Amino acid sequence: MSAIDKPENPAVAESAFLKACRREPVPHTPVWFMRQAGRSLPEYLKVREGIPMLESCMRPELVTEITLQPVRRHGVDAAIYFSDIVVPLKAIGVDLDIKPGVGPVVEQPIRSRADLERLRDLTPEDVSYVTEAIRMLTAELGATPLIGFAGAPFTLASYLVEGGPSKNHEHTKALMYGDPELWADLLDRLADITAAFLKVQIEAGASAVQLFDSWVGALAPADYRRSVMPASTKVFEAVAPYGVPRIHFGVGTGELLGLMGEAGADVVGVDWRVPLDEAVRRVGPGKALQGNLDPAVLFSSREAVEAKTREVLDAASGLEGHIFNLGHGVLPTTDPGALTRLTEYVHEQTAR
Ligand code: CP3
């Protein structure tokens, strides 16, 4: 496929975040946090009051405000578009909701070939509010890059097949092992929806994309390679012509890091269980790493946070490209002041 020319603000292209993604020298290690916009911020709780989660994702002005909040407050090096991984599914008519304190719940789980037919392709018109919000956001963000994102086929399939959050993914695995053909078709359909959703975000102005395969750590490497990787690779290949960095993240994926890089990522996100100097051995050369402070560390003393952050930075010192992040999302009861101090600390410690 030939390259797609994408107009880019030169200041954004030269940002520390995009340089680190491209494994170029940086003025300081860039920092952003998964789930940086959300319940840890009082200003978020205030603007969200009385508005259901999914509805808030469809209001461009609200999305713009919520996305900007952590950038203003913490001085992070990138914004992440405020949305949720189930938004594209909702947009094509899947009957689902995000229940507070629970997560996404699907009215009629997808478990048969007839169920699969309910998943139609996503068009840009289905998510016109995303295009509108990203245009507003990039105008406001100036030199700060915007990260677009989507759920990866496996993690989306898990919500659709289980009907909600799951610890053991038993229905998902039953389908994966019991009807490999239907499973492959389901993941392939989800790959197309996900790719279409990421393209909308890139075309509207996102400078990087992250594919969240949050729950794929539930799989052994052989099953990942056979039953999941083809669909994730299809997503990465579909957005490759835009030339924007592609980040791939999952939780509990220590044994999958090499394969997740191989699936087509430019940057591999690492949770807190594998130190970055070991992660780079597993991922291999030619990719930047993102991570990986345990989000629970932020509940300890300032000294302890700094000591644990130092460990992450030391483990990352030999990397060609490092983007500092938590090993998973910000926990809702995190003190926002701890996130601001952490951002400053990483900037200070890595200033070159
Ligand atoms: O700042 C950001 O990172 C952008 C916002 C963002 C949200 N969801 C907003 C949200 C992102 C990147 C996501 C991705 C997402 N959603 C993932 C992948 C990331 C991960 O954490 O592994 C997953 C698995 C989901 C599914 C989902 N949506 C869950 C598990 C929950 C939490 C349920 C709960 O209430 O504890 C949601 C809801 C959700 N998505 C909230 C937010 C801010 C909380 C709802 C609220 O504020 O009312």
Tens digits of residue pLDDT in 200-243: 999 999 999 999 999 999 999 999 999 999 999 999 999 999 99
Q: Is 271 a catalytic residue?
A: no
Task: Measure the CA–CA gap between 33 and 325, rounded to whole angstroms.
Answer: 5
Confidence tier at 1 by pLDDT (50, 70, 90): low
How distant is the alpha carbon of residue 101 from its chain centre?
A: 20
Using CA atoms, how far apart are residues 55 and 90, in angstroms rounded to an integer? Answer: 11
Closest by alpha carbon to 89, among 119, 50, 59? 119
Q: State the Cα–Cα distance between residues 322 and 288, nearest whole angstrom.
A: 6
Q: What is the CATH number of domain 10-350?
A: 3.20.20.210
Percent of the chain at pLDDT exceeding 90: 97
Cα(280) to centroid(ligand 1), Å: 28
Contact predicate 342/309, CB 8 Å = yes
| Residue ranges in the chain assigned as alpha helix (H) | 10-13, 16-21, 42-48, 53-57, 60-74, 87-91, 113-116, 128-141, 153-162, 170-178, 180-204, 221-227, 229-239, 257-262, 276-283, 302-315, 336-350
Both tokens of 25, joined, read: 């020298």
Candidates 22, 39, 59, 226; catalytic one:
39
Catalytic hit among 22, 84, 129, 225: 84
Instruction: pLDDT band for 5, please (50, 70, 90 cuts).
Output: confident
CA distance 313 to 301: 18
- Classified as helix, coil or strand, 146 is strand
Confidence check: pLDDT of 2 > 70: no
Which member of 44, 73, 77, 159 is catalytic? 159
- 296 to each of 3, 253, 287, how far by Cα in Å? 41, 18, 27
CA-nearest residue for atom 33, ligand 1, is 103
Find where tokens 């292209």 sit. 13
User: Is 23 among the catalytic positions?
Assistant: no
Q: Reply yes or no on whether 39 is catalytic.
A: yes
The SS3 assignment for 220 reads coil
Give mean pLDDT, residues 298-316.
98
CA-proximal residue: ligand 1, atom 40 (nearest): 84
Q: How far, in Å, CA of 175 to CA of 160, rounded?
A: 12
Residue nearest to atom 8 of ligand 1 (CA): 84
Ligand 1 atom 48, closest CA? 53
| Model confidence band, residue 41 (pLDDT cutoffs 50, 70, 90) | very high
| Ligand 1 centroid, distance to 104 Cα (angstroms) | 9
Q: Do the beta carbons of residue 96 and residue 104 sit within 8 Å?
A: yes
- Identify the residue whose C-alpha is closest to ligand 1 atom 20: 214
Tell me the pTM: 0.97
Distance CA(320)–CA(288), nearest Å, equals 6
Report residues whose beta carbon is within 6 angstroms of any ligand 1 atom: 34-39, 48, 53, 80, 82, 84-85, 98, 100-104, 149, 212, 214, 329
- Please report the atom of ligand 1 found closest to the CA of residue 251: 22
- pLDDT-derived band at 97 (thresholds 50, 70, 90) equals very high
Give me the chain's average pLDDT, please.
97
Establish whether 48 is a catalytic residue.
yes
**Is the per-residue pLDDT at 348 higher than 70?**
yes
**Over residues 99-127, mean pLDDT:** 97
Report how far apart the first and last C-alpha atoms of the chain are (Å, whole number): 38
